[in-house]
């Protein structure tokens, strides 16, 4: 079926197919496509590659709408190729060995983009429990990226994580998402959209009859037992 008359919407995910001059790009998911980037004379689309931000011009027949299952398949392939897995591995012993090495760079730091791609694909497929788990891993990687503490780049990842938790079905996941929202709000420079994420989760909790607990209030009560309340 010809794609000559198909016009992707702004921000739509598409897949590159049938490229001859750049065959290594076939199967790649590309990101932003805007109408202003159409080359009217040649009839080609100027599309931006997600990884490095560069542009290439492609024929309409070289782009197809991204199938959600295909999107997940490709994201998982890239994650595995980068040395990661969708299920978190138990690396407690490894962490104990490197805790004292200040120059150590956690290998998972290099998997951030790949994890986010898998999380996005799971979210789009409405696999919210798996998406939340993946975004949770990505959140902590982003928070400590480059040996930083509370890296501000973690907030957009936290937003994805909290959105996923707000759509989970299991009570323990929703509660955990609420706890994570409260923790994130305590971080310096936390943007207002995280507060809205917290409110969204609380709306879900009310609908499901789940008790909403204030972490700081609980902490104060516990500390008050020892005469150390804030």
Most confident segment among 52-61, 147-156, 192-201 = 192-201
Residue 102 pLDDT grade (very low, low, confident, very high; cuts 50, 70, 90): very low
Q: Which CATH class is domain 68-213?
A: mainly alpha
* 103-155 tens-digit pLDDT: 444 546 778 999 999 999 999 999 999 999 999 999 999 988 867 677 888 99
CA–CA distance, 162 with 176 (Å, rounded to integer): 10
Distances in Å between the Cα of 58 and the Cα atoms of 42, 47, 217 are 10, 7, 57
- Percent of the chain residues past pLDDT 90, beyond the cut: 38
- CB 137 within 8 Å of CB 118: no
Q: pLDDT at position 104, please? A: 40
Residue 1 pLDDT grade (very low, low, confident, very high; cuts 50, 70, 90): very low
Lowest-pLDDT range, 47-61, 73-87, 154-168, 209-223?
47-61
pTM: 0.71
Helices 154-166 and 171-185: crossing angle in degrees, nearest 10, is 150
Q: Is the pLDDT of residue 58 over 90?
A: no
What would the mean pLDDT of 88-110 be, rounded to a whole number? Answer: 51
Tokens of 220: 């104060």
Q: Other CB atoms closer than 10 Å to residue 93's CB: what's the count?
A: 7
Tell me what the pLDDT averaged over the chain comes to. Answer: 79
**Tokens 């197919």 label which residue?**
17
Residue 37 pLDDT grade (very low, low, confident, very high; cuts 50, 70, 90): low
């Amino acid at each position: 079926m010809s794609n000559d008359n198909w016009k992707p919407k702004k921000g739509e995910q598409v897949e590159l197919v049938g490229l001859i001059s750049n065959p290594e790009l076939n199967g790649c998911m590309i990101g932003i496509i805007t109408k202003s980037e159409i080359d009217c004379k040649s009839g080609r689309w100027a599309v931006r590659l997600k990884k490095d931000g560069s542009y290439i011009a492609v024929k309409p027949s070289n782009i197809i709408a991204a199938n959600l299952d295909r999107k997940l398949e490709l994201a998982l392939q890239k994650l595995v190729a980068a040395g990661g897995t969708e299920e978190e591995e138990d690396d407690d012993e490894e962490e104990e060995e490197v805790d004292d090495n200040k120059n150590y760079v956690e290998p998972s730091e290099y998997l951030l983009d790949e994890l986010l791609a898998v999380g996005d694909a799971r979210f789009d497929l409405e696999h919210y429990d798996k998406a939340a788990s993946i975004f949770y891993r990505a959140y902590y990687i982003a928070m400590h990226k480059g040996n930083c503490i509370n890296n501000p780049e973690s907030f957009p990842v936290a937003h994805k994580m909290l959105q996923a938790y707000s759509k989970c079905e299991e009570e323990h996941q929703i509660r955990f998402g609420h706890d994570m929202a409260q923790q994130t709000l305590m971080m310096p420079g936390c943007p207002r959209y995280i507060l809205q994420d917290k409110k969204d989760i609380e709306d879900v909790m009310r609908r499901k009859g789940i008790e909403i607990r204030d972490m700081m209030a609980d902490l104060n009560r516990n500390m008050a037992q020892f005469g150390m309340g804030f």
